[in-house]
Amino acid sequence: MAIRLGPNQYGKAENRVVRVYRDTPRHELRDLNVSTSLRGRFEDAHVSGDQKDVLPTDTQKNTAFAFAKERGVGAIEDYALALGRHFVNVSPAIQGARVEVEEYPWERIGDHSFVRSGGGVRTTVVEVGDEGATVVSGIKDLVVMNTTDSEFRGFLRDEYTTLEDSYDRILATSLVATWEYADVEADWDTLFASIKRICLERFAGIHSLALQQTLYGMGKAVLEAHDEVRHISFKAPNKHHFLVDLSPFGVENNGEVFIAADRPYGLIEASVVRD
């Protein structure tokens, strides 16, 4: 039974590309973290050490920065598609490119002054190959909390179950959502804003019987509103907020004082798809 190279890819991770538009006194800013990787016929590089087909990760880095100027950075999806399409055309040995981009949010405080804001980091992962391209965009680090309208009860019990039914608890998570677009051309910025808005609106609006139900409701609402989205996935740590027992001190605690725990945490992953 022979031993051989299996799946492989390589690239440059976490290029911190900052693009300033300064054509007018009112500057614009796009602050990105760009990772690229290539797949293809790289057996020689691995087996004999011959690098003739390997476009250096340093070149990938250069390209990410050069494109920020040459092609510009509008929506991160367009920037990533441009990069990915470029790479697969460099050499026949390169058969696929994956470009990941994170965009950090900034709020304007002056014509050329900004403060980092919260509300999550926008993401996209673009894959370009022989069959065309796919665009999976998303948001991460979107930390949200409901202080009521969350229950968890009627669950399966076995001999290791000690949890009691809860009729009113805090529901908090640091949401990661990713969705695949049906097409490679779209009004990306508008779609992102709308999907984020729907997720927040549903998170706030659903009376939750479980984090699973909240995620499903969010995903369903996104798919109903946007035919442009093929499917959506969520990864949501259940950031536990435990009610603190204040009875030893003669004090009632009706959902008012909680300890936010770090680990362990629930981890709920769910996707919503079209049939």
User: What is the amino acid identity at position 181?
Assistant: Y
Going by the DSSP 8-state scheme, the letter that residue 83 receives in this structure is H
CA distance 191 to 14: 25
74 binds its own copies (CB under 8 A): no
| Nearer CB in complex with its own copies: 81/170 | 170
Question: How far apart are CB 190 and its own copies at their closest, in Å?
Answer: 20
**Contact at 8 Å (CB) between 164 and 157?**
no
The contacts of residue 195 (CB under 8 Å, 6+ apart) are 139, 177, 179, 222, 226, 229
12 binds its own copies (CB under 8 A): yes
**Contact at 8 Å (CB) between 85 and 128?**
yes
**Contact at 8 Å (CB) between 82 and 36?**
no
- The residue annotated as part of the active site, out of 12, 196, 226, 239, is 12
CA distance 117 to 37: 29
269 binds its own copies (CB under 8 A): yes
| Nearer CB in complex with its own copies: 122/241 | 241
| Nearer CB in complex with its own copies: 71/184 | 71
163 binds its own copies (CB under 8 A): yes
**Is 57 annotated as catalytic?**
yes
81 binds its own copies (CB under 8 A): no
**Site map for its own copies, 205-244, x if CB under 8 A?**
x--xxx-xx-xx---x--xx------x-x---xx--x--x
68 binds its own copies (CB under 8 A): yes
The contacts of residue 69 (CB under 8 Å, 6+ apart) are 19
CA dihedral of residues 56, 58, 61, 66 (deg, nearest 10): -100
Question: How far apart are CB 198 and its own copies at their closest, in Å?
Answer: 12
The residue from 117, 185, 190, 193 that contacts its own copies (CB under 8 A) is: 117
How many C-beta atoms lie closer than 10 Å to residue 120's C-beta? 22
Question: How far apart are CB 197 and its own copies at their closest, in Å?
Answer: 10
Question: How far apart are CB 271 and its own copies at their closest, in Å?
Answer: 4
The residue from 61, 122, 169, 226 that contacts its own copies (CB under 8 A) is: 61
Going by the DSSP 8-state scheme, the letter that residue 93 receives in this structure is T
Q: Provide the annotated active-site residues.
A: 12, 57, 240
